[in-house]
Amino acid sequence: MSIETERNPWMSAPPESEDEQEQVEHLRKDHLLLDPVGMEAMNQDALGSMTRHGRWTWMLIVVLGGLAMMAGVGWLVQLFVGLGFTGLNRTIFWGMYIINLVYFIGIGHAGTFISAAFRVMGFETRRPIARAAETVTLFALAAAGLFPIIHLGRPWKVYWMIPIPNQRQLWPNFQSALEWDAMAIMTYVVGSVLFIYIGLLPDLAMARERTGVNWRRRLYSALSLGWRGTDRQWALHESVSTIFAYVIIPVMFSVHTIVSWDFAMTIQPGWHSTIFGPFFIVGALYSGVAAVLVAMGFLRRFLKLGYFIREEHFDVMAKFLLIMSFAWIYFYFGEFLVTWYGNLPPEMTILDLLLYGEAAPLWWLMIFCNVVVPVGLLWMRRVRRNPGILFVIAVFIQVGMYLERYLIVGVMLGRPELPFNYSWYYPGLEIPIAIGAFSFVIFFYFIFTVFVPIISTWEVGEGQFLHGLRKIGRKITKFKSDMH
């Protein structure tokens, strides 16, 4: 490790005056990539975060684990008794299980987007938060992958949906959007796990070098697959990561499109819409970026990662969130304006239900959470740079986006063509299972931070290596080298 000095070695010349010194201090305070403390100190800080879980965090982890187990018991009951304790009925056959599937796949999208799309576009802010975001993807997908199975009437037969030669001599039906969905989700899970694992390798090796001979060392030795940090390994790592980043972006877009097609391919009023593919992707990124902001807030506060996760990162993510909120509003408006103008009776029944009917409280609450709160607040720089307020806004968006899916699945489904079949959805056993699923995701997120450095130090180090300060006239500016 050559970068051991406090001073930025890539600065063209040391500051000469007090004014220049002040400028340098200011830039370093604002930008992580201009503020190297030395690779070793940074590694120790990131590794230390694995043991910085305080008493309250551990208590939270225990409570979350208990809630997740409660959901497991609920599912066991359902396995033995059937889906009778849910609030589903003979009009509304899909409920909160599918809503959770859409929601968790949705929040999984941001991680991939931040680590893959930001990577290929060269957005430097991704460096310290990419792994935190990918981890959201990882466990959100784990939960999302469970829900189609929980949802099934006979989950022990789920393998019938996998195209394997079988004694029944029957392939799955490739015409079914659910079949596409099953394959898309499996592809995305495998791809995401590999992608996060590749990014982890250098840091696992780093952790291996810096722990005593104990279980941690054995774990990291096994997981780091013999990573030694040779030039050849780094070159391979770079090309594999780049290829993976390009490959996983279309997979990410296809997954949520196909999830939306589960709905759009039907002839249910309110669902049968060509706009659903892009609309769901935008919604997914919107809720996903908000979820990453929640995670960033957690990490910064509970694991004391203030050095890595700075206001500049919150600022950038909040701007991204604002843009996604505009995009989401645009799609939502487009969807409803067309429906309203078309004035088809079954579609108008649903619009009336949402705007003034039984579902109006939920709909207006959703509009408040998804439109009023973010658009009203995120344009302010002070808000964007305040992790506490951002945390609250992000939670509002989670509520709003959950409600959006709830309205699409649980409420619209209650208005089929024939008025005789109108119904309303009162969830039952789904509620504890949903609470358990949220706990499951947060629980495993925290557990993950115990075993793995949640900050990608090699990426941050690389970024710091590439960035420097240069004096142009009397002003000190930052520059980025294109060296690799």
Partner 1 sequence: MSEQDASGKRRWTMIVDLDKCSGCGACVVACHAENNVPIAAEDQVVADRSQHWMRIERYWEGEYPDVKARFVPVLCQHCGEAPCEPVCPVYATYHDERGGLNAMIYARCVGTRYCANNCPYRVRFFNYFDPVFAEPLNNQLNPDVTVRSAGVMEKCTFCVQRIRRAEHTAKVEGRTLADGEVLPACVQACPTGALMFGDRYDAASAVAKLLEHNGRAVRLLETLGTDPSIYYLKGGTSHVD
Contact footprint for partner 1 (CB under 8 A): 81-84, 86-94, 148, 151-155, 157-158, 160-161, 168, 170, 172-173, 175-179, 182, 262, 265-268, 413, 416-421, 423, 426
3-state SS class at 415 = coil
Half-sphere CA count of 230, side-chain side, radius 13 A: 6
CB of 88 to partner 1, least distance (A): 7
Nearest by Cα to 454 from 3, 146, 6, 53: 53
Q: What are phi and psi of 476, to 5 degrees?
A: -100, 125
Distance CA 103, CA 401 (A): 8
- Ramachandran category for residue 92: left, alpha or beta (phi over 0 → left; psi -120 to 50 → alpha): beta
CB of 184 to partner 1, least distance (A): 13
CB of 348 to partner 1, least distance (A): 15
Nearest by Cα to 182 from 107, 244, 246, 105: 105
Nearest by Cα to 457 from 49, 54, 153: 49
Q: Which is nearer to partner 1, 146 or 290 (CB)?
A: 146
Q: Which is nearer to partner 1, 418 or 472 (CB)?
A: 418
Distance CA 361, CA 354 (A): 8
Q: Which is nearer to partner 1, 57 or 268 (CB)?
A: 268
Centre a 10 Å sphere on the Cβ of residue 199 and count the other Cβ atoms it contains: 22
CB of 263 to partner 1, least distance (A): 9
CB of 152 to partner 1, least distance (A): 5
CB of 107 to partner 1, least distance (A): 23
Q: How far is CA 305 from the centre of its chain?
A: 19
CB of 338 to partner 1, least distance (A): 19
Q: Which is nearer to partner 1, 182 or 373 (CB)?
A: 182
Nearest by Cα to 297 from 386, 401, 411: 386
Q: Which is nearer to partner 1, 67 or 258 (CB)?
A: 258
CB of 159 to partner 1, least distance (A): 9
Q: Which is nearer to partner 1, 213 or 418 (CB)?
A: 418
**Helix runs in 343-467, H state only:** 345-355, 360-367, 373-377, 381-384, 387-406, 430-451, 457-466
As a whole number of angstroms, the longest Cα–Cα distance in the chain is 82
Distance CA 477, CA 469 (A): 6
Centre a 10 Å sphere on the Cβ of residue 117 and count the other Cβ atoms it contains: 18
Q: Which is nearer to partner 1, 162 or 222 (CB)?
A: 162
CB of 269 to partner 1, least distance (A): 9
Q: Which is nearer to partner 1, 22 or 417 (CB)?
A: 417
Tokens representing residue 139 in the block: 């466990």
Q: Which is nearer to partner 1, 267 or 483 (CB)?
A: 267
Length of the chain: 484
